[in-house]
């Protein structure tokens, strides 16, 4: 470089300079003005320091001196040219590589290779901040510092001591206390909304009853229900009489197996164990197989057998609603702001048969009376009855006298407005109500929610301002089937599917400490994996949560990731509203938390189950949820892995391929589904490449990409069924004939002989019907065009869509 500069300097001295173009600083302005100035400087004189020559001129060929120096000029230029070219190439290459590396580090949705959070991702502070640029590491450190100042354990204890059944005076008082707490934080908006919903409660004057039935058909001796106020909300009311049959967990396959062993469930009362599926699914399956009523009990075989661990008392019954759905079942598909606005209809998920929880002691008495074949080995439990028999047994009479009450419930909201995309909401919520003490059910989640509000409020005071709005919500009516959250979704569905980015649920967050589980939309799996690598394990010192789950299973997602079940509070957000959602849980290894939905779900019992680690586990959940919120609310590009659904479709198609020969024999084909999946994968890859080659600093372009990404989940809601008739329209998670599971169950009937496939009832297919070609064609069309519509929407503008389908 020194040699090059010397050559240029020598050339400049040899060439005459009658005039030159310069930039001159003009007083009073911040710009440089281009001016022409004539100079008669002598050869060899240095230019003034404030003049900057803008071009390299050759000699004036019209002058004699120019002609004499032409040869020397040409030789010098030829010698300097390679150095100029080399220097230019080096500068260009260095700038290109620097820009390339910076872009790859900032692109969060460009594929697995660039999904890792970069320390170079910067975050602009709020307008009232005096700090400089905040990086991911700065925000992470700030969040953890303020989170560490809270008192989670005390809040959990205080909330669990308060009576807070939905609609009660205690719940109203707690709602006002939480509203006041939110008003005391640095939030932009705090408000409440009230819904008038139909809830079902036991009638103290006419408690539910269970009697033996004598041979002559008269009511005999009563069986004393030890927990009189434990009941199944939304059970059918009235009386049911029939012989008793033991039906394991009450799943469709259990009832089919029962029938195959010569014990008919139709016309009888079923005794089923707690677990595997929800109360509502148990009762729905029993109804589909013709049973007259259901008794649900907890078997000690489904809980920990460790004598050093706590167990549920044998005289405790377990509470659970039996509405196969969510929200107010008396205003299905409509918000319950004012019931008089809507016709008096009921949800199709309400059962037509009565159901009642009973204790293990009562179940033991009933099992001893059963006759008939011995139950399979895997059906045997740990009650003091050996062996369990299938029945039938003596007659029983069940009387259910629950009554419906119009009840006001209130949701509480707090919002931190985003600075760049305030109309896009990242939502986090927790159930507030509980039938009993509800320490694990709702006190933990509510305490973590309040702690996150306080933490993010402190961050805002110290310069943090998210790109997207953060919405914190305390739900009411959760124990009756996510009533508060579903009514809110129904009331604002036309807005939320355009504005809600993700929902994070804090319900059932701490049920143990042995293993971690995430029930989630596929869109969030990659982000969850990334966050797990940055949160310390609460019970394995020196390990992250990711290292903890990988210790026993190298396929981390097989160990951690589960689909959203209907009894999850996050289910309605995805299956009904098309918003990706996640619910986290720390759980006991292999066994359920024994006190959930009982009077024994107290702070003391939860603390003892976790052996004193409740504060550490709750803190880990708060860290996980908080860092997830930061990424979702503040990354320039939403970190949602829209390509994941291609793998989900492929997995289901793999199951359908087994029946391609049977369909071909009938002149039918699944080619439409294959083609739609191919279009979706190509659209996802095309969008990925567009993002990869774009500029992150282009706010308009980033917003366009974010809109397409955040609506991917919504694309999988079938547009061809009514939300009022089929509220859960999601083709992968929903319930009804439009779903992929329903199509698969229907296709299985091609090889089924007799009463049909036992899994059919779980997806909305009535048992006992064979394969129907017309119904298959309709199912295939609904599924294919929903999937094709998702591919088209992901492609962007209509002129970018491949229409050769």
Domains of the chain: 137-198+405-556+582-634 (3.40.630.10), 207-400 (3.50.30.30), 643-795 (1.20.930.40)
With a CB cutoff of 8 Å and minimum separation 6, the contacts of 496 are 425, 489, 577, 579
Give the helix ranges, DSSP H, for 635-759. 644-657, 660-665, 671-692, 699-710, 712-715, 740-748
CB under 8 A, 24+ apart: contacts of 626-629: 626/143, 626/147, 626/452, 626/455, 626/456, 627/140, 627/143, 627/531, 627/534, 627/535, 628/504, 628/527, 628/528, 628/531, 628/582, 629/426, 629/428, 629/452, 629/456, 629/470, 629/504
Q: Is 548 exposed, middle or buried (0-12, 13-18, 19+ CB in 10 A)?
A: buried
Supply φ then ψ for residue 497, to 5 degrees. -70, -15
Supply φ then ψ for residue 316, to 5 degrees. -95, 135
Q: What pLDDT, on the 0 to 100 scale, is given for residue 349?
A: 92
Q: What pLDDT, on the 0 to 100 scale, is given for residue 193?
A: 93
Give residue-wise pLDDT tens across range 79-120.
Answer: 666 667 677 777 777 766 665 555 444 444 443 333 333 333
d(CA 772, CA 775): 5
d(CA 683, CA 673): 15
Note the maximum CA span of the chain.
137
Distances, alpha carbon 565 to alpha carbons 33, 251, 527, in Å: 69, 15, 20
Q: Supply the pTM of this predicted model.
A: 0.82
Q: Which residues of the chain have pLDDT under 70?
A: 1-83, 85, 95-134, 149, 338-343, 590, 753-769, 800, 802-805
Cα dihedral 708/714/718/724 (nearest 10): -140
Q: What pLDDT, on the 0 to 100 scale, is given for residue 571?
A: 96
Given a contact cutoff of 8 angstroms between Cβ atoms, the answer to whether 344 and 356 are in contact is: no
Give residue-wise pLDDT tens across range 166-225.
Answer: 999 999 999 999 999 999 999 999 999 999 999 999 999 999 999 999 887 888 899 988
């Amino acid at each position: 470089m020194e040699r090059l500069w010397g050559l240029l300097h020598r050339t400049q001295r040899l060439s005459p300079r009658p005039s030159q173009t310069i930039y001159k600083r003009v007083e009073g302005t911040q710009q440089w003005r281009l001016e022409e100035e004539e100079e008669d400087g002598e050869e060899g004189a240095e230019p003034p320091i404030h003049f900057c020559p803008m071009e390299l001129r050759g000699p004036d060929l019209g002058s004699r001196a120019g002609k004499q120096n032409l040869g020397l000029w040409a030789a010098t230029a030829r010698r300097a040219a390679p150095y100029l070219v080399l220097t230019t190439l080096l500068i260009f290459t260095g700038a290109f590589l620097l820009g390339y590396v910076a872009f790859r580090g900032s692109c969060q949705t460009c594929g697995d290779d660039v999904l890792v959070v970069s320390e170079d991702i910067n975050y602009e502070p709020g307008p009232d901040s005096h700090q400089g640029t905040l990086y991911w590491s700065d925000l992470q450190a700030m969040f953890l510092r303020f989170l560490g100042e809270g008192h989670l354990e005390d809040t959990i204890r205080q909330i669990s001591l308060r009576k807070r059944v939905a609609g009660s005076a205690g719940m109203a008082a707690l709602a006002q206390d939480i509203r006041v707490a939110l008003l005391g934080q640095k939030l932009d908006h705090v408000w409440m909304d009230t819904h008038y919903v139909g809830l079902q409660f036991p009638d103290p004057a006419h408690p539910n009853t269970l009697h033996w039935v004598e041979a002559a058909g008269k009511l005999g001796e009563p069986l004393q229900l030890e927990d009189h106020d434990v009941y199944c909300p939304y059970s059918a009311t009235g009386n049911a009489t029939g012989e008793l049959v033991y039906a394991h967990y009450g799943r469709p396959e259990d009832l089919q197996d029962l029938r195959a062993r010569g014990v008919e469930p139709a016309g009888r009362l079923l005794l089923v164990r707690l677990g595997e599926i929800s109360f509502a699914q148990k009762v729905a399956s029993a109804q589909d197989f013709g049973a007259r009523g259901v008794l649900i009990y907890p078997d000690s075989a489904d809980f920990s057998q460790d004598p050093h661990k706590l167990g549920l008392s044998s005289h405790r019954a377990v509470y659970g609603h039996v509405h196969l759905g969510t929200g107010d079942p008396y205003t299905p598909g409509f918000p319950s702001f004012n019931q008089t606005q809507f016709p008096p209809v009921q949800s199709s998920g309400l059962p037509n048969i009565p159901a009642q929880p009973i204790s293990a002691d009562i179940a033991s008495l009933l099992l001893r009376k059963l006759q008939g074949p011995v139950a399979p080995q895997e059906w045997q439990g740990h009650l003091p009855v050996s062996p369990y028999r299938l029945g039938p047994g003596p007659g029983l009479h069940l009387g259910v006298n629950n009554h419906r009450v119009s009840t006001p419930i209130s949701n509480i909201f707090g919002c931190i407005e985003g600075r760049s995309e305030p109309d896009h909401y990242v939502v986090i919520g927790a159930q507030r109500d509980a039938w009993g003490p509800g320490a694990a059910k709702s006190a933990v989640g509510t305490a973590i929610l309040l702690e996150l509000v306080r933490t993010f409020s402190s961050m805002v005071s110290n310069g943090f301002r998210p790109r997207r709005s953060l919405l914190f919500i305390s739900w009411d009516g959760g124990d009756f089937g996510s009533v508060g959250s579903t009514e809110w979704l129904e009331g604002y569905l036309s807005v939320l599917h355009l504005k809600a980015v993700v929902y994070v649920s804090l319900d059932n967050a701490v049920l143990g400490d042995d293993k971690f589980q995430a029930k989630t939309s596929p869109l969030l799996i990659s982000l969850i994996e990334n966050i797990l690598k940055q949160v310390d394990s609460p019970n394995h010192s020196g390990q992250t949560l990711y290292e903890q789950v990988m210790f026993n299973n190298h396929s981390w997602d097989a160990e951690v990731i589960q689909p959203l079940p209907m009894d999850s509070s996050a289910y309605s957000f995805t299956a009904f509203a098309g918003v990706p959602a996640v619910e986290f849980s720390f759980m006991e290894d292999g066994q359920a938390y024994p006190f959930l939905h009982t009077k024994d779900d107290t702070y003391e019992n939860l603390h003892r189950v976790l052996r004193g680690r409740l504060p550490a586990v709750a803190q880990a959940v708060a860290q996980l949820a908080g860092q997830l919120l930061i990424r979702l609310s503040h990354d320039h590009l939403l970190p949602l892995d829209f390509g994941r659904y291609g793998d989900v479709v492929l997995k289901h198609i793999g199951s359908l391929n087994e029946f391609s020969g049977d369909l071909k024999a009938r002149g039918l084909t699944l080619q439409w589904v294959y083609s739609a999946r191919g279009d979706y994968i190509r659209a996802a890859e095309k969008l990925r490449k567009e993002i990869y080659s774009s500029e992150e600093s282009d706010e308009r372009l980033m917003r366009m990409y974010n809109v397409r990404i955040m609506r991917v989940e919504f694309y999988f809601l079938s547009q061809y069924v009514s939300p009022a008739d089929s509220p859960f329209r999601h083709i992968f998670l929903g319930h009804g004939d439009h779903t992929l599971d329903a199509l698969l169950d229907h296709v299985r009937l091609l090889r089924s002989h007799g009463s049909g496939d036992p899994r059919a009832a779980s997806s909305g297919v009535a048992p006992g019907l064979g394969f129907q070609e017309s119904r298959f064609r309709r199912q295939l069309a609904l599924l294919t065009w929903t999937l094709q519509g998702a591919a088209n929407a992901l492609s962007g503008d209509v002129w970018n869509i491949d229409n050769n389908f």
